[in-house]
Amino acid sequence: MKPVFLRQTALACALVLASLASAAPGAAHSEPMSREQGAAILQELRAIRQLLEQQPKAAPAAAAAPAPAPTSVRVDLSQEAHTLGATSAPLTLVMFTDHECPFCKRFLQESLPRLRQDYIDTGKLRLILRDLPLDMHPNAQKAAEVARCAAEQGKHWPLLEAFASAPEPLAQPAMARLIQGMGLDASRIDACVADGRYTAKVKASVAEARRLGFNGTPTFVLGATTPGALEGEKMVGIQPYESLKRRLDEHLAKARPKS
């Protein structure tokens, strides 16, 4: 217990005792406090102070734990995937996504347009999309297959943007409306899905995510571009543009050759 606190507590006690004494019946017309009364109050305060000093001292505040180092993982890039940006970009960002995940949708709507303008279209970043449909989203597996089938008609990314803006779950009626609205050949999409043309590829992407310990979406891996694999920083959850921009600029500064 700090001395300053003890003095403040003793003073508070004195004020309380004084107010109690003045509140006694007839106190307004009584004589001034006698020496004996003052001595009794002081003795009471000394006893209170002794009790306070006997209290165990508060433990010193624990030092702030250092921030954990970013988790580094190695992603196999040999699987077929959809990309944006040049293969020569110094940085690669892999995104494991679920087309019914609301946080993935927010990333596609809010962060991706700015990423494309500032980093992807300027040759600084390549984005690789991987599928991780979660069991909690009953339409996510089929949506991933439909998106891959749409790529055969050159509409993969536009369909993903339509998925992201859809206000309802991607069940069959909603999916059919989106496909029609994109001007896609619906019969080709239906045949592609019915054949299971991309089922194994989606499941292989899920298996890669599980191998890496990824259980939620979106999950990102950011690192320097290397052939065949990406060893980089794991980031879980939606990444606001400003936060992601900070990380990208840090990685670009490291990748830049020193003069």
State the pLDDT at residue 14.
45
pLDDT at 168: 85
User: Whole-model pTM above 0.75?
Assistant: no
Element (H, E) at 89: none
pLDDT given for residue 149 in this prediction: 97
**207, 70, 24: which is closest to 133 by C-alpha?**
207
Question: Pick from 125, 144, 147: which is nearest to 252 by CA?
Answer: 125
Q: How far apart are the first and last CA of the chain?
A: 57
For 125, 132, 212, the CA distances from 172, given in Å and listed in that order, are: 35, 20, 32
Cα–Cα dist 100/131, whole Å: 11
| pLDDT digits (tens), the chain, 259 positions | 444 444 444 444 444 444 444 444 444 444 555 565 555 556 556 655 655 555 555 554 445 444 456 688 999 998 888 999 999 999 999 999 999 999 999 999 999 999 999 999 999 999 999 999 999 999 999 999 999 999 999 999 999 999 999 988 899 899 999 999 999 999 999 999 999 999 999 999 999 999 999 999 999 999 999 989 999 999 999 888 999 999 999 999 987 654 4
Cα 250 to the chain's mean position, in Å?
19
d(CA 205, CA 133): 9
What pLDDT, on the 0 to 100 scale, is given for residue 36? Answer: 53
Query: Could you identify the residue written with the tokens 């995510």?
Result: 209
Q: What is the pLDDT of residue 6?
A: 43
Question: Directed axis angle between helix 35-53 and helix 3-23, to 10°?
Answer: 140
Q: What is the rounded CA–CA span in Å between residue 174 and residue 151?
A: 19
125 contacts 115 by C-beta, under 8 angstroms: yes
Q: Which residues pair with 74 in a beta bridge?
A: 231
Query: What is the reported pLDDT for 79?
Result: 87
Identify the pLDDT of residue 32. Answer: 56
Q: Domains along the chain?
A: 72-255 (3.40.30.10)
pLDDT at res. 68 = 56
CB of 125 closer than 8 Å to CB of 89: yes
